[in-house]
Structure 1
Amino acid sequence: MASETSPHTGEPDGGSVRVDSWIWSVRLVKTRSAGAAACKGGHVRVNGERVKPAYGVKPGDEVRVRQPGGRERVVIVKRAIRKRVGAPVAVECYVDNSPPPPPREAVAPAGVRDRGTGRPTKRDRRDMDRLRALNSRRGPANSARPPFEDEAEGR
């Protein structure tokens, strides 16, 4: 009786594998312990349900992994593997249905000064604070503060 085995891992292709081991094997997380921690923290779902690290995944299952930074990876299991493989082989073990990552904002760094210009003056610091407030989209830092009495009367 010859059963189908994976040429790279020697493991059966049709069986189930622990979810923490599988997401580590296909390089969705850096370490197996990080995969187990993600499962325990509720960041891994298989077919819409939160799972424990020992849950078995099999081909055809949908695995959702929420990664640091808020990005969610949605993959369909094509092949169940137990051992970590190279990146080109790992990509063949799943179908990636993840939404594209959000575009990075092209924001000029606020407060970058030329070398050798010395410490910023009080006016420079206020300008930098104003730029930081605009970049964070909160509006000017002092907008909630009422104006001074002298400014209100026009003195």
Structure 2
Amino acid sequence: MPPTLDIQQPQPFDLVGSTILIAGNATAFEGTLSIRVSEGHDEYSSFTSVGSLGLRQFQGSIEIPNQNAFKLNRLFLTLADDTGNENGPSVVVPILYGPKILTGYGGWRPYTVQPGDTLTGIAQQEYGNNDFQPIFQANQHIITDPDVIFPGQELRIPRNDI
């Protein structure tokens, strides 16, 4: 059976916190997959176990111990079966790092854009100030211009634990 990596969590551009949960289906040499999270400057790594015979479901996680661990908020999670072969199969998933987007990041909630909404207005409603950058950064995969949002768009509103 050829090596297989099917990552179901996180999906591309998911907004993640300090503990990044990873799940999917895989075959892996000796039952181990390596996990790396990087943004081109800094990197954290770990591993997770997979059954060694045939395609298996797996769950794993990697903990980023410092909220300021990265310089950028767009990260790349790489999951690889390189335990037996340095050039084994791998999957790279772009993710957004919540703690770099909003201080004290503790998750997000969905928000449906209404007619007349602006990012500044949504920020005022959600945070009590006009700083729309956390909303813009958390939705950078769907918003390219902060002055252009559309009724019906589903946005992620980052929340903090502070």
Please give the TM-score of this superposition, normalised by the length of structure 2: 0.24
Please give the TM-score of this superposition, normalised by the length of structure 1: 0.25
Task: Decide which structure has greater strand share.
Answer: 2
Greater RCO, CA 8 A, separation 6+: 2
Specify the structure having the higher radius of gyration (Cα): 1
Task: Decide which structure has greater helix share.
Answer: 1
